[in-house]
Amino acid sequence: MPVFGIKVALKKTGGLMVSEQTLEWREQNKEFIKEWKEKIKELRLRRYSDRWDQDKFEMEILSLINDQELRTVFIFSKNYIVQRKTGKFRKFMLDIYNEIIDYGSINPFRLNSIKRRIETAKRKMK
């Protein structure tokens, strides 16, 4: 499917349409992703054993995220999902939220476009 003159092949993975570029990026960073999944698995076990609520779990995830831009995206997506109950942008933010939890990061090429979409949403919300 051509997008802005660039041919992008999308594959369905885990309910999301993911570009070849993102799949390659995940393949290159598979060690980080593997470590991240282990940390999340441990957090989920602690969550159930210590009876954490969702907010406590998200706070612990935030403490694991090192990149400030990614933290900002995570916080915005969480808050947007809570505030809005329907819509395409909410679904997009839910996908981003789940991707951060699942992989611990976002493809840097996508991060810039996500930040622009968030800024646009913030302007419209005012």
Read off the pLDDT of residues 51-98 as tens digits, 9 standing for 90 and up.
888 889 999 999 999 999 999 999 999 999 999 999 999 999 999 999
Contacts of 42 (CB under 8 A, 6+ apart): none
Q: Break the chain into its structural domains and give their ranges.
A: 30-125
The 10 Å Cβ neighbour count of residue 100 is: 21
CA atoms of 119 and 126, how far apart (whole Å): 11
Which of 7-16, 22-31, 59-68, 71-80 is least confident?
7-16
Residue 19 near residue 95 (C-beta atoms within 8 A): no
Please count the CA atoms within 13 angstroms of the CA of 111 that sit on its side-chain side.
15
In the block, tokens 């995220």 appear at 65
Structure tokens at 16: 């999301």
